[in-house]
Amino acid sequence: MLTLTIFLTSCSGVKELSIFKEEVPRAKLNLEKPTPLQLENLQWIIITSENADEVFKKLEEQGIDPVLWGLTDKDFELLAKNFARIRNQLMVTNNLLDEYKEYYESETENDKE
Amino acid sequence: MGIRLFFIGLIATALAGGGFYVLKLQKDNAILKANAIKLESAISEQQTLIENQKKDFEEILNANKKMNELVSVLKKDLEDLDKRFNKKNRDVGKLAIAKTKSIERITNGASALATRCIEIASGSPLTEKEINATKKSEINTECPSIANPNYIPY
Protein backbone atom coordinates (compact mmCIF):
# COMPACT_ATOMS: atom_id res chain seq x y z
CA MET A 1 0.00 0.00 0.00
CA LEU A 2 2.81 2.32 1.04
CA THR A 3 4.81 1.51 -2.13
CA LEU A 4 1.77 2.16 -4.31
CA THR A 5 1.16 5.52 -2.61
CA ILE A 6 4.78 6.53 -3.13
CA PHE A 7 4.64 5.61 -6.84
CA LEU A 8 1.37 7.45 -7.42
CA THR A 9 2.46 10.61 -5.63
CA SER A 10 5.68 10.65 -7.61
CA CYS A 11 3.79 10.64 -10.90
CA SER A 12 1.28 13.30 -10.04
CA GLY A 13 3.62 16.32 -9.87
CA VAL A 14 2.32 19.46 -11.55
CA LYS A 15 4.66 20.50 -14.34
CA GLU A 16 5.49 24.12 -15.00
CA LEU A 17 3.86 25.34 -18.18
CA SER A 18 6.42 26.56 -20.64
CA ILE A 19 5.34 28.82 -23.50
CA PHE A 20 7.79 29.49 -26.28
CA LYS A 21 7.47 31.73 -29.31
CA GLU A 22 8.93 30.90 -32.70
CA GLU A 23 9.14 33.59 -35.32
CA VAL A 24 7.76 32.32 -38.61
CA PRO A 25 9.08 34.38 -41.52
CA ARG A 26 6.57 35.77 -44.01
CA ALA A 27 6.24 33.61 -47.11
CA LYS A 28 8.29 34.88 -50.03
CA LEU A 29 6.43 36.25 -53.02
CA ASN A 30 8.77 34.62 -55.58
CA LEU A 31 6.81 35.73 -58.63
CA GLU A 32 8.14 34.67 -62.00
CA LYS A 33 9.67 37.44 -64.07
CA PRO A 34 7.58 38.41 -67.11
CA THR A 35 8.54 36.77 -70.38
CA PRO A 36 10.90 39.03 -72.38
CA LEU A 37 9.34 40.76 -75.37
CA GLN A 38 9.76 39.40 -78.87
CA LEU A 39 9.01 42.25 -81.22
CA GLU A 40 8.36 42.36 -84.94
CA ASN A 41 10.61 44.41 -87.18
CA LEU A 42 8.83 47.05 -89.17
CA GLN A 43 9.68 48.59 -92.50
CA TRP A 44 10.23 52.32 -92.85
CA ILE A 45 9.59 53.91 -96.24
CA ILE A 46 10.90 57.39 -96.95
CA ILE A 47 8.72 59.40 -99.31
CA THR A 48 9.80 62.65 -100.85
CA SER A 49 7.93 64.78 -103.40
CA GLU A 50 10.16 63.21 -106.01
CA ASN A 51 9.73 59.50 -105.24
CA ALA A 52 6.11 59.51 -104.01
CA ASP A 53 4.59 58.20 -107.26
CA GLU A 54 7.22 55.49 -107.50
CA VAL A 55 6.65 54.42 -103.87
CA PHE A 56 2.88 54.13 -104.27
CA LYS A 57 3.27 52.30 -107.57
CA LYS A 58 5.61 49.79 -105.91
CA LEU A 59 3.13 49.24 -103.10
CA GLU A 60 0.36 48.52 -105.59
CA GLU A 61 2.61 46.12 -107.49
CA GLN A 62 3.31 44.25 -104.27
CA GLY A 63 -0.42 44.03 -103.52
CA ILE A 64 -0.17 46.42 -100.56
CA ASP A 65 -2.79 49.14 -100.11
CA PRO A 66 -1.26 52.35 -101.43
CA VAL A 67 -1.60 54.20 -98.18
CA LEU A 68 1.09 55.29 -95.71
CA TRP A 69 1.14 56.82 -92.24
CA GLY A 70 3.52 59.74 -92.35
CA LEU A 71 5.88 61.53 -90.03
CA THR A 72 7.96 64.61 -90.65
CA ASP A 73 11.69 64.32 -90.03
CA LYS A 74 11.24 66.18 -86.71
CA ASP A 75 8.45 63.88 -85.58
CA PHE A 76 10.49 60.86 -86.60
CA GLU A 77 13.29 62.14 -84.37
CA LEU A 78 10.82 62.59 -81.51
CA LEU A 79 9.44 59.09 -82.02
CA ALA A 80 12.96 57.63 -81.89
CA LYS A 81 13.71 59.53 -78.68
CA ASN A 82 10.39 58.53 -77.12
CA PHE A 83 11.14 54.88 -77.81
CA ALA A 84 14.62 55.28 -76.33
CA ARG A 85 13.09 56.80 -73.18
CA ILE A 86 10.54 53.98 -72.89
CA ARG A 87 13.37 51.46 -73.34
CA ASN A 88 15.43 53.15 -70.62
CA GLN A 89 12.49 53.20 -68.24
CA LEU A 90 11.85 49.51 -68.91
CA MET A 91 15.48 48.74 -68.22
CA VAL A 92 15.50 50.72 -64.96
CA THR A 93 12.25 49.13 -63.76
CA ASN A 94 13.51 45.64 -64.58
CA ASN A 95 16.78 46.33 -62.82
CA LEU A 96 14.94 47.70 -59.80
CA LEU A 97 12.87 44.52 -59.64
CA ASP A 98 16.03 42.39 -59.80
CA GLU A 99 17.67 44.36 -57.00
CA TYR A 100 14.60 44.05 -54.75
CA LYS A 101 14.39 40.33 -55.48
CA GLU A 102 18.05 39.86 -54.69
CA TYR A 103 17.84 41.88 -51.49
CA TYR A 104 14.69 40.34 -50.06
CA GLU A 105 14.69 36.87 -51.56
CA SER A 106 18.35 35.88 -51.82
CA GLU A 107 18.19 34.51 -48.24
CA THR A 108 15.61 31.99 -49.41
CA GLU A 109 18.06 30.72 -52.01
CA ASN A 110 20.76 30.45 -49.36
CA ASP A 111 18.43 28.64 -47.01
CA LYS A 112 17.63 26.12 -49.70
CA GLU A 113 21.33 25.39 -50.11
CA MET B 1 23.55 26.54 33.98
CA GLY B 2 21.42 29.34 32.54
CA ILE B 3 24.47 31.13 31.17
CA ARG B 4 25.77 27.93 29.62
CA LEU B 5 22.45 27.29 27.90
CA PHE B 6 22.43 30.89 26.72
CA PHE B 7 25.88 30.51 25.13
CA ILE B 8 24.98 27.15 23.58
CA GLY B 9 21.87 28.78 22.12
CA LEU B 10 23.96 31.70 20.89
CA ILE B 11 26.53 29.42 19.22
CA ALA B 12 23.77 27.29 17.67
CA THR B 13 22.05 30.41 16.34
CA ALA B 14 25.35 31.76 14.99
CA LEU B 15 26.07 28.44 13.27
CA ALA B 16 22.59 28.28 11.80
CA GLY B 17 22.87 31.93 10.69
CA GLY B 18 26.27 31.23 9.12
CA GLY B 19 24.84 28.18 7.36
CA PHE B 20 21.91 30.15 5.95
CA TYR B 21 24.25 32.96 4.89
CA VAL B 22 26.48 30.49 3.01
CA LEU B 23 23.43 28.99 1.34
CA LYS B 24 22.26 32.49 0.35
CA LEU B 25 25.70 33.25 -1.06
CA GLN B 26 25.64 30.03 -3.08
CA LYS B 27 22.19 30.92 -4.43
CA ASP B 28 23.31 34.46 -5.31
CA ASN B 29 26.40 33.04 -6.97
CA ALA B 30 24.27 30.72 -9.10
CA ILE B 31 22.03 33.65 -10.12
CA LEU B 32 25.06 35.79 -10.98
CA LYS B 33 26.52 32.96 -13.08
CA ALA B 34 23.20 32.59 -14.94
CA ASN B 35 23.09 36.36 -15.46
CA ALA B 36 26.63 36.37 -16.84
CA ILE B 37 25.71 33.62 -19.32
CA LYS B 38 22.59 35.56 -20.39
CA LEU B 39 24.64 38.76 -20.83
CA GLU B 40 27.26 36.96 -22.92
CA SER B 41 24.52 35.50 -25.08
CA ALA B 42 22.87 38.95 -25.43
CA ILE B 43 26.20 40.52 -26.45
CA SER B 44 26.74 37.79 -29.03
CA GLU B 45 23.21 38.32 -30.41
CA GLN B 46 23.80 42.08 -30.59
CA GLN B 47 27.06 41.54 -32.46
CA THR B 48 25.32 39.29 -34.97
CA LEU B 49 22.61 41.91 -35.38
CA ILE B 50 25.18 44.68 -35.96
CA GLU B 51 27.04 42.51 -38.49
CA ASN B 52 23.78 41.78 -40.33
CA GLN B 53 22.90 45.47 -40.37
CA LYS B 54 26.34 46.30 -41.78
CA LYS B 55 25.83 43.69 -44.48
CA ASP B 56 22.40 45.13 -45.30
CA PHE B 57 23.78 48.67 -45.54
CA GLU B 58 26.53 47.48 -47.89
CA GLU B 59 23.97 45.73 -50.07
CA ILE B 60 21.80 48.87 -50.13
CA LEU B 61 24.80 51.02 -51.09
CA ASN B 62 25.78 48.58 -53.83
CA ALA B 63 22.25 48.47 -55.21
CA ASN B 64 22.12 52.28 -55.26
CA LYS B 65 25.51 52.46 -56.96
CA LYS B 66 24.47 49.94 -59.61
CA MET B 67 21.22 51.80 -60.23
CA ASN B 68 23.00 55.17 -60.57
CA GLU B 69 25.52 53.65 -62.99
CA LEU B 70 22.71 52.19 -65.09
CA VAL B 71 20.80 55.49 -65.19
CA SER B 72 23.97 57.29 -66.20
CA VAL B 73 24.83 54.92 -69.09
CA LEU B 74 21.24 54.99 -70.32
CA LYS B 75 21.35 58.78 -70.27
CA LYS B 76 24.48 58.65 -72.40
CA ASP B 77 22.74 56.38 -74.95
CA LEU B 78 19.96 58.96 -75.20
CA GLU B 79 22.46 61.79 -75.66
CA ASP B 80 24.22 59.78 -78.39
CA LEU B 81 20.89 59.34 -80.17
CA ASP B 82 20.32 63.09 -80.03
CA LYS B 83 23.83 63.66 -81.44
CA ARG B 84 23.13 61.28 -84.31
CA PHE B 85 20.17 63.42 -85.38
CA ASN B 86 21.77 66.83 -84.82
CA LYS B 87 25.53 66.32 -85.09
CA LYS B 88 27.17 69.36 -86.74
CA ASN B 89 23.78 70.89 -87.50
CA ARG B 90 22.84 67.79 -89.49
CA ASP B 91 19.37 67.97 -91.02
CA VAL B 92 18.04 64.43 -91.42
CA GLY B 93 15.16 65.70 -93.57
CA LYS B 94 17.45 67.28 -96.13
CA LEU B 95 19.71 64.23 -96.07
CA ALA B 96 16.70 62.00 -96.73
CA ILE B 97 15.73 64.10 -99.77
CA ALA B 98 19.26 63.99 -101.14
CA LYS B 99 20.00 60.33 -100.40
CA THR B 100 16.58 58.76 -100.02
CA LYS B 101 17.52 55.09 -100.50
CA SER B 102 20.60 55.31 -98.35
CA ILE B 103 18.81 57.02 -95.43
CA GLU B 104 15.93 54.55 -95.77
CA ARG B 105 18.39 51.68 -95.42
CA ILE B 106 20.07 53.31 -92.40
CA THR B 107 16.68 54.02 -90.79
CA ASN B 108 15.55 50.42 -91.18
CA GLY B 109 18.83 49.12 -89.78
CA ALA B 110 18.64 51.43 -86.78
CA SER B 111 14.98 50.56 -86.27
CA ALA B 112 15.82 46.84 -86.08
CA LEU B 113 18.58 47.56 -83.58
CA ALA B 114 16.28 49.76 -81.48
CA THR B 115 13.68 46.99 -81.49
CA ARG B 116 16.32 44.57 -80.17
CA CYS B 117 17.20 47.12 -77.46
CA ILE B 118 13.60 47.02 -76.20
CA GLU B 119 13.70 43.23 -76.13
CA ILE B 120 16.89 43.34 -74.06
CA ALA B 121 15.42 45.96 -71.73
CA SER B 122 12.41 43.69 -71.18
CA GLY B 123 14.71 40.89 -70.00
CA SER B 124 15.71 39.06 -73.15
CA PRO B 125 19.11 37.38 -72.62
CA LEU B 126 22.06 38.68 -74.66
CA THR B 127 23.31 36.57 -77.55
CA GLU B 128 26.93 35.36 -77.75
CA LYS B 129 27.49 37.83 -80.57
CA GLU B 130 26.24 40.72 -78.45
CA ILE B 131 28.31 39.67 -75.44
CA ASN B 132 31.50 39.25 -77.46
CA ALA B 133 31.16 42.46 -79.46
CA THR B 134 34.10 44.78 -78.80
CA LYS B 135 34.42 46.66 -82.10
CA LYS B 136 32.28 49.56 -83.24
CA SER B 137 31.25 47.56 -86.31
CA GLU B 138 29.96 44.72 -84.11
CA ILE B 139 27.90 46.60 -81.55
CA ASN B 140 24.28 47.62 -81.32
CA THR B 141 24.76 51.35 -81.87
CA GLU B 142 21.34 52.16 -80.45
CA CYS B 143 22.07 50.88 -76.95
CA PRO B 144 25.64 49.60 -76.58
CA SER B 145 25.55 50.10 -72.81
CA ILE B 146 22.94 47.38 -72.34
CA ALA B 147 23.51 45.24 -75.44
CA ASN B 148 27.31 45.00 -75.48
CA PRO B 149 28.77 44.71 -71.97
CA ASN B 150 32.32 44.12 -73.27
CA TYR B 151 32.41 47.12 -75.59
CA ILE B 152 34.55 50.01 -74.40
CA PRO B 153 33.89 53.18 -76.43
CA TYR B 154 36.99 54.43 -78.20
pLDDT at residue A113 in the model? 44
Per-residue pLDDT of A49-85, as tens digits, reads: 999 999 999 999 999 999 999 999 999 999 999 999 9
pLDDT at residue A26 in the model? 81
Q: Which chain B residues contact residue A102 at CB under 8 A?
A: 63
ipTM attached to this prediction: 0.72
B153 touches chain A (CB under 8 A): no
pLDDT at residue A16 in the model? 61
Residue A3: pLDDT band (50, 70, 90) is low
Interface test with A, best of B74, B83, B86, B127 (most A CBs within 10 A): B74
Element (H, E) at B38: helix B2-86
Write down the pTM of the prediction.
Answer: 0.72
Q: Which amino acid is at A37?
A: L
Are the beta carbons of B100 and A15 closer than 8 angstroms? no
Residues A92, B74: C-beta atoms closer than 8 Å? yes
Percent of chain A surpassing pLDDT 90? 56
pLDDT, chain A, mean: 83
Search chain A and give the residue with CA nearest B78.
A84
Would you list the DSSP string of A7-74? HHHHHTPPPPP-----PPPPPP--PPPPPPP-PPP-------TTTHHHHHHHHHHTT--S------HH
Low-confidence ranges of chain B (pLDDT < 70): none
Residues B146, A73: C-beta atoms closer than 8 Å? no
Residues A44, B96: C-beta atoms closer than 8 Å? no
Q: Which chain B residues contact residue A98 at CB under 8 A?
A: none
Q: What is the mean pLDDT of residues A104-108?
A: 71
How many Å apart are CA A96 and CA A100, to the nearest integer? 6
